[in-house]
């Protein structure tokens, strides 16, 4: 799978990339909505987009407007509390799921798979996910990095 992440936090990008690699998926990181929208317009093989609500003072609304016709899962990561009315407005603009920070990267990637399954079907998922012979040392390394990531999040 190919997933776009729009987030200013390099640690978020790093950890999502490492977890995605377990399924031979790729996370492409962008630090602006404009760059991500441009990439999406030129690359129809993207399976999902995960993003913050605001990047460098720019709110996600314009990005959602530009990507309305692209039917892929769109997941919002946020540390802010989202009220029901705001959640409904974001849903109307194309957000499929709102995930509060701090988040579990494995759960976010599972959400991507579930949303893709709903939108495109199980066969699409089977085609996009590569069968991997599990390398226990790579899995152990990824889990250690996840633990380090969570420790950093909770020590702030």
pLDDT band at 130 (very low <50, low <70, confident <90, very high): low
pLDDT in tens, 80-120: 888 999 999 999 999 999 999 888 998 999 999 999 999 99
Q: pLDDT value at position 128?
A: 82
Q: Say if residue 78's pLDDT is above 80.
A: yes
Distance of CA 129 to the CA centre of its chain: 16
Q: Say if residue 134's pLDDT is above 50.
A: no
Length of the chain: 156
Specify the pTM.
0.81
Decide: 28 and 3 in contact? Cβ < 8 Å: yes
Averaged pLDDT for residues 59-66: 89
């Amino acid at each position: 799978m190919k997933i776009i992440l729009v987030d200013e936090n390099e640690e978020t990008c790093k950890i999502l990339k490492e977890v995605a690699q377990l399924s031979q998926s790729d996370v492409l990181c962008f630090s602006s909505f404009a760059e991500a929208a441009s990439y999406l317009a030129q690359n129809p093989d993207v399976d999902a987009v995960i993003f913050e609500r605001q990047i460098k003072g720019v709110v996600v609304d314009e990005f959602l407007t530009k990507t309305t016709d692209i039917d892929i899962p769109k997941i919002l990561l946020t540390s802010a509390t989202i009220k029901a009315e705001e959640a409904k407005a974001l849903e109307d603009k194309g957000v499929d799921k709102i995930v509060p920070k701090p988040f579990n990267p494995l759960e976010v990637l599972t959400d991507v798979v579930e949303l893709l399954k709903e939108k495109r079907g199980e066969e699409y998922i089977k085609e996009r996910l590569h069968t991997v012979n599990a390398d226990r040392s790579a899995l152990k390394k990824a889990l250690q990095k996840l633990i380090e990531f969570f420790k950093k999040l909770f020590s702030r």
